[in-house]
Amino acid sequence: MKRSVAWKALVGMLLLLPVPLAGFGCGGKDKTSTPGDGEAPTVVAFSLADSATGIGLVTPITVTFSGDMDEASVVTGAIVLEGRPAGGHVRYDALTRSATFTPDTLYLPETWQRLSVSGATDLDGNAVLPAQLRFRTGPLDCVHLADPHEPNEEIAAAAWLEAGGVYRSLTVCEQEIDTYAFTLADPADITAATTVRHAHADAAGYAGWQIHFMNANRQYYATLGTSAVPGEHTYHYSFLPGTYYLEIFSSYGVDPGEFVLYDLELRVGEPCEDDAYEDNDFPHEASLIAPGVHTGLRGCHVDADYYRVAVRAGETLALTVDATVPAGAWAHRRVELAVPGASTVTYSGSENPVAVQAIAARDGEAVVCVRFWVDGVAYSMEVQVTASP
């Protein structure tokens, strides 16, 4: 479901520039250089105004320091949300001298919170002067459950991620869809690793959980449907260089006001070895081949290989696929043959080789699709086109 106008107002508040602390820069010298020995660094700004209200329940908070800080001292307990057993996750950016705190779970709704900064040191070992920020959270609803990547329901509004990045405390509320985009300069196997931290469960079980890799036209390379049981759920696909999209959502069993809280990591691995016919993952990319034996073909995890063959009315197209699957791997495969004017012939199973055939009712191009469920498959394909007696 779409976020309301109120959500847009909340986003505007979350995107405020860092708010200087009271007194900083008033009548004195701004301390923008790295403090020297013995000079204590200070917190010069928070990304929220002190005593701000109506704050979102997963809002990150950025703390800006007056000088260059020792990263290890900043990310290991220096920024803490008081009253919580675990303060959350902290990332330090040396370029901007700022640290961003992301809560590991929801802030308590409609509650005053206090974020404390202390114990961090600069590069000379000087401890930061303690600082605090007070803010009050909003109610537990979809508006205040929005994460910083919202709104990102559509391809056009996809939130850009870095391959290899880790993104924490993301949310989908009710029937919302989270859409992300990433770009690869080199071939890579990408694993979308989601760690579900909270999901609705009732007598029927946990809500559904969907992870889909897509292209810019929202055509699916690969889809995973499972249950949003707390813990890690992963899905992977081997990509060529380019820009790709990922959508994540809860597909069923979510009542009004319910949500899923999750972390997302885009893990980068070695790409699956593919063949010279790629990129042929969709029917409109089908590679034109002639009758005969085609060897040296490669199959990767859920990667569809599409081919097209010219046929005339009355001709029979016979297809044989012979595959070698890595030892111990699941040998399942799916072969589809669609000739003009006839129903698609489909085989799904583990037999080898697989042989299918169909008779064309009119002139045109037959379309062949071959798909495996593991990486490292080597296969050959024999295509025979014969006139009917």
Alpha helices in 22-165 (DSSP H): 71-75
What are the structure tokens assigned to 245, written together?
């999209």
In a domain, 340, yes or no: yes
Longest dimension (CA), the chain: 99
In a domain, 186, yes or no: yes
CATH of the domain at 211: 2.60.120.380
In a domain, 130, yes or no: yes
Q: CA quadruple 252, 256, 262, 265: dihedral positive or negative? A: positive
Residues 247 and 212: their CA atoms lie apart, in Å, by: 5
Residues 254 and 175: their CA atoms lie apart, in Å, by: 7
Residues 132 and 324: their CA atoms lie apart, in Å, by: 63
pLDDT value at residue 377: 98
169 with 116, same domain? no
Domain boundary residue among 236, 269, 302?
269
In a domain, 86, yes or no: yes
Task: For the beta carbon of residue 351, count every other beta carbon within 10 angstroms.
Answer: 10
Residues 333 and 341: their CA atoms lie apart, in Å, by: 25
288 with 265, same domain? no
* Residues linked to residue 377 through DSSP beta bridges, in sequence order: 299
295 with 258, same domain? no
Length of the chain: 389
User: Residue 214 is part of which domain span?
Assistant: 155-269
pLDDT value at residue 11: 46
28 with 133, same domain? yes
117 with 9, same domain? yes
Distances 270 to 175, 189, 240, 274 between C-alpha atoms, Å = 34, 6, 11, 12
Residue 388's identity, in one-letter code, is: S
pLDDT value at residue 370: 98
pLDDT value at residue 26: 38
pLDDT value at residue 83: 72
Residues 99 and 77: their CA atoms lie apart, in Å, by: 12
Q: Which residue has the tokens 């990319």?
A: 285
Tell me the average confidence (pLDDT) per consecutive run of 10 residues in the chain, 389 residues long: 45 47 40 60 98 97 98 94 76 98 94 96 97 97 96 97 97 95 98 95 84 97 94 97 97 82 98 95 97 98 97 97 95 97 97 97 98 97 91
The pTM for the full model equals: 0.86
127 with 27, same domain? yes
Instruction: Please count the structural domains in the chain.
Output: 3
176 with 248, same domain? yes
pLDDT value at residue 332: 95
Cβ distance 385 to 291 under 8 Å?
yes
In a domain, 26, yes or no: yes
Task: For the beta carbon of residue 76, count every other beta carbon within 10 angstroms.
Answer: 11
60 with 166, same domain? no
230 with 331, same domain? no
Cβ distance 241 to 186 under 8 Å?
yes
173 with 261, same domain? yes
Distances 190 to 178, 186, 187, 329 between C-alpha atoms, Å = 18, 11, 9, 20
| Residue 285: DSSP 8-state | G
Domain boundary residue among 244, 269, 294?
269
DSSP strand pairing (131-137 vs 52-55)? parallel
Domain boundary residue among 77, 109, 137?
137
19 with 133, same domain? yes
pLDDT value at residue 137: 96
In a domain, 276, yes or no: no
* Angle 126-38-20 from CA coordinates, rounded to 5°: 65
CATH of the domain at 18: 2.60.40.1220
Does a cis peptide bond (omega within 30 degrees of 0) precede residue 303? no
For the chain, how far is it from start to end, CA to CA, in angstroms?
58
Residues 319 and 359: their CA atoms lie apart, in Å, by: 12
160 with 225, same domain? yes
DSSP string, 196-208: EEE--EETTEEPE
The closest alpha carbon to 221, from 250, 193, 249, 189, belongs to 189
Does a cis peptide bond (omega within 30 degrees of 0) precede residue 353? yes
In a domain, 85, yes or no: yes
In a domain, 274, yes or no: no
